[in-house]
Chains A and B, each alone.
Chain A
Amino acid sequence: MYSLYQDFGNTTFFVGYFGIFTDQITNMLIDLNECCVSKTEQHSKIAKKTSFLIAESFQNIIRHGTVKQGVEDMDYSRDYFEVAIFSDRMGISTANVIENQYIEDLSTKIDYINSLDSETLREYKIAVLEHGMFSDKGGAGLGLIEMVRKSGAPMKKTFIPLTSEYSMIVLCLEVPIGKTTNTDVLNIDEVVNRYKCLVEKEILLIYKGDFSDESNTQLIEMMHNNFMKGSELDAYKIKSMMLIIEVLQNVTKHAKIIDNRKDGLLILSILNGELFVECSNFVEKNQFADFRNYMKKLKSSTPTEIQKQYHEKLTIAQQLPEVNYGLGLLEIARVSKNTYSYSFTETANNEIFYTIKLKA
């Protein structure tokens, strides 16, 4: 897990998402981005811009999601969305299936938009608004024009062939932050490689960033919406929700604060139809020995012993509800039937990186 964390080492915020694509999820991603991004003045200035770009990119997937006959079981046919924030730029990338017959037209359009300077692009936008050129899916290329205008950098694109009828289209936008003038840094091949790697690991969601109350809420609500069946939450996913909440809140409560952040990594993946939760954070060195001993003891406890400890905590809660140490971990141990695993990794800069993994 730590090596994966290091792969995202130069990002302060990363979300990679393969779940359902709806307007509600769009709003949650925007809120997640805003609560993490607007922590510095420099970043808060671009929060509005990036919210727009996230919405447009996400809407593109919702609007242009193709009926995937014959490719739905192929490895690289899963719709994907990612946001990555680096110190000097932000990258927003999407991947979705496209019919091959539209590739040439779309490529030409993107190349043309990329070739225009900001003033000509503005004039082109007005011309498109006046003269139409609407596609049968309600788009007039306006979304693409606005995305390039707002990002201030060319849109990168590449295609992954799937069949004679379909391909994946990968689009990548970058938004410079602060005084950066170099606007052609993000490498779309890296996005494609990451997409393939995450598909192979059967990931549903990966999040690297600050684990605050606000970010937890957006992550939990994203999962809630993914687990909906019709208008209700799938009954069998209630256990998963309770475990995800405990795991996330455990990080927020106990993670070491480094540079004003409780940095960590969350991965939700679905392997053979089963949901796995993996979560990591740094822990304080002076609490490490006690914490490791506690985890060791908990892991070696029998279900009856765990039950007993759990009931003792709840009995105390009748008088002192503020005493909570260990109740969340006991709940994780109980509900997961003690099938979780955990590890501690000492990093090169002497930090302790804690990971818990369980089937939810």
Chain B
Amino acid sequence: MEKLFIPADIITPEVFFDGDNGLLRIVGKSYPENVNSFYIPLIDYIEKYKQTPASKTVIEFDWLYYNTATLKIIVKMISLLKDDVKNFEVQWHCREEVELMIEKGEELKELLNVKMKLIIQKS
């Protein structure tokens, strides 16, 4: 499966999807009002990936901040993978002092009932 790399832009994050190795990584900030134009190719990639997934799948989020429109896409991406891909894990990166982002990770873990590792970076 082809890798997908999208560099970060002002309002959108950096994306690195490596289907062969089961790694889907999104880093940075995301606040487009219309999320579809940026995220539909990512959703399409995930849909395709689900057909022949790697033995282990990790979706990594390392957010600076995001808007609620992006949050819905995060939920959508996790939901697409969690029931259909074996050995699936979400890795939620956040800085120790950013309590809000830690809470967001914990909340999603509970709400979506998904295996999630909170990776808290100490300052």
Bound-state CA distance A321–B39 (Å) is: 11
Apart from A241-B65, A246-B68: 18 A-B pairs, beta carbons within 8 A: A217-B11, A220-B11, A233-B65, A238-B64, A238-B98, A242-B65, A245-B31, A252-B33, A253-B33, A314-B71, A317-B75, A318-B79, A318-B112, A321-B72, A321-B73, A324-B68, A327-B68, A331-B71
Binding site for A on B (CB under 8 A): 10-11, 31-35, 64-69, 71-73, 75-76, 79, 95, 97-98, 100-101, 111-112, 123
Contact A242 B33 (CB under 8 A): no
Bound-state CA distance A221–B31 (Å) is: 11
- The interface bits of chain A over 66-107 (1 if a CB of B lies within 8 angstroms of the residue's CB, else 0) are 000000000000000000000000000000000000000000
Contact A233 B75 (CB under 8 A): no
Interface residues on A, range: 20 to 34
Dominant secondary structure at the A interface: helix
Contact B72 A220 (CB under 8 A): no
Contact B76 A317 (CB under 8 A): yes
Bound-state CA distance A281–B95 (Å) is: 35
Known contacts A242-B65, A242-B66, A252-B33: A236-B75 contact under CB 8 Å: no
Which chain B positions have C-beta within 8 A of A236? Answer: 97
Contact B67 A242 (CB under 8 A): yes
Which single residue of chain A is at the shortest CB-CB distance from B110?
A311
Contact B10 A217 (CB under 8 A): yes
Known contacts A238-B101, A242-B100, A318-B79: A233-B64 contact under CB 8 Å: yes
Contact B101 A317 (CB under 8 A): no
Bound-state CA distance A328–B69 (Å) is: 8
Which chain B positions have C-beta within 8 A of A213? Answer: 32-34
Chain B nearest CB, measured from A43 CB (Å): 24
Which chain A positions have C-beta within 8 A of B11? Answer: 217, 220
Bound-state CA distance A180–B33 (Å) is: 38
Bound-state CA distance A324–B33 (Å) is: 11
Is A235 engaged at the interface, CB distance under 8 Å to the other chain?
Answer: yes
- The interface bits of chain A over 199-238 (1 if a CB of B lies within 8 angstroms of the residue's CB, else 0) are 0000000000000010011001100000000000101101
Is A60 engaged at the interface, CB distance under 8 Å to the other chain?
Answer: no
